[in-house]
């Protein structure tokens, strides 16, 4: 059978066309989204860098969890939810610096491990199911071939 399309047969299938449209839609969304974000960034006024980025500092309070009030009031708390108080040596300014807690890192690690284990189990079950289905198709094919003799 010949196809009515002047392009290869694989491109005439609706599923392939849908996948192409989805792919190019996502690509164009990414390109135009990046262009819009770069325009927004150009209008933002520069903010002075915190002193702990520019000079030496001493940690006055170790990394600790932010309270609900500080989480809303301090920009340093918004990044990780943990903050430490530092004193810059040259300017003698006290500021808050966002930090990552060892407890938080351990919690995130175990969440990642659990998600990986769950995905492994799901895909192992899918492989077994697919293998049984393919084995059944192969045995059906052999049965039909034997019956036709």
Could you say which DSSP state residue 148 is in? T
**For residue 83, which of 109, 65, 67 has the smallest C-alpha distance?**
65
CA dihedral of 7, 10, 11, 13, whole degrees rounded to 10:
130
The CATH label, of 3.30.559.10, 3.30.720.220, 2.140.10.10, 1.10.1740.10, for the domain at 52-100 is 3.30.720.220
pLDDT digits (tens, 9 = 90+) for 70-112: 777 788 888 888 889 898 888 888 888 888 888 888 988 999 9
pTM of model > 0.85: no
pLDDT higher than 70, residue 42: no
Share of the chain above pLDDT 90, in %: 27
Share of the chain above pLDDT 70, in %: 81
DSSP string covering 70-117, please? HHHH-HHHHHHSEEEEEEETTT--EEEEE---HHHHHHHHHHHHHHHH
Domain boundaries, the chain: 9-43, 52-100, 102-149
């Amino acid at each position: 059978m010949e196809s009515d399309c002047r392009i290869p047969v694989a491109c005439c299938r609706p599923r392939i066309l849908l996948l192409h449209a989805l792919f190019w839609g996502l690509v164009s969304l990414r390109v135009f989204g990046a262009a819009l974000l770069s325009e927004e960034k150009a209008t933002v006024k520069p903010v002075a860098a915190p002193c702990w980025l520019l000079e030496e500092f001493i940690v006055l309070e170790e990394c600790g969890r932010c309270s609900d009030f500080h989480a809303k009031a301090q920009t340093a708390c918004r990044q990780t939810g943990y903050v430490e108080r530092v004193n810059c040596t040259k300017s003698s300014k006290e500021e808050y610096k966002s930090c990552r807690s060892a407890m938080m890192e351990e919690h995130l690690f175990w969440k990642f491990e659990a998600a990986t284990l769950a995905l492994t189990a799901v895909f192992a079950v899918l492989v077994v199911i697919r293998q049984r289905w393919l084995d059944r198709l192969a045995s059906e094919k052999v049965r039909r071939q034997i019956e036709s003799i």
